[in-house]
Amino acid sequence: MRRKREVKRNILPDTRYNNVQVAKFINYLMRQGRKTAAQKILYGAFDIIEKEKKANPLEIFDRALRNVSPVIEVKSKRVGGANYQVPQEVRGERKTALTFRWIIGAANAKKGKPMRAKLAEELLLASNNEGNAIKKKLDMHRMAEANRAFAHFSW
């Protein structure tokens, strides 16, 4: 017997910017339930962006998310004893999850600075279509383009 569907939780907007995307990003940034630490990191990154670029950090954040979010990805499918990488469109929730994961991972990979500075730098790079998170998206799109011949296997 199948279990009933999991109910999606509504995430409340964050306290400072009243934005749901920022609240979700804080939840992805959080480690071991330390939400205030994650908030300090993100708000610190926004403060750095505001000081350095004299721009609205929310606009840069939104532009970075738009630039990094993938449109198409490849999924493995087994057909007659062979595995094919089948290109498919990325659905909305997975798109945001991948975007957040790539930005945080790219910031984590940098060395020698506090996390808020690394995150601010990565957000600025992503908003200008540069950086490791954008590279990850382009690699995924390139892989999907290379396997376009197997698109008819999509389910």
Q: How does pLDDT run across 72-99, given as a tens digit for each residue?
A: 998 888 888 888 888 889 998 999 999 9
Bridge-based pairing of strands 82-89 and 72-79 is antiparallel
Tell which residue, 44, 45, 41, 42, has the closest CA to residue 120. 45
- State the Cα–Cα distance between residues 9 and 15, nearest whole angstrom: 18
Give me the sign of the Cα torsion angle 25, 107, 114, 119. negative
> CA 65 to CA 25: how far, in whole Å?
10
Query: Could you tell me which CATH number the domain at 20-153 has?
Result: 1.10.455.10
* Helix ranges, the chain (H): 20-29, 35-53, 57-68, 92-109, 115-127, 132-146
pTM: 0.90
The region of weakest confidence among 35-39, 41-45, 49-53 is 49-53
Q: What is the mean pLDDT of residues 115-120?
A: 96
pLDDT at 20 > cutoff 80: yes
Task: Region of 29 please: left (phi>0), alpha (psi -120 to 50) or beta.
Answer: alpha
The token pair that represents 92 in the structure block: 């909305």
Q: DSSP letter at 153? A: G
- Pick the residue with more confidence: 47 or 147? 47
Report the half-sphere exposure of 98 (CA within 13 A, side-chain side): 19
Is pLDDT of 155 > 70? Answer: no
Q: Tell me the average pLDDT of the chain.
A: 92
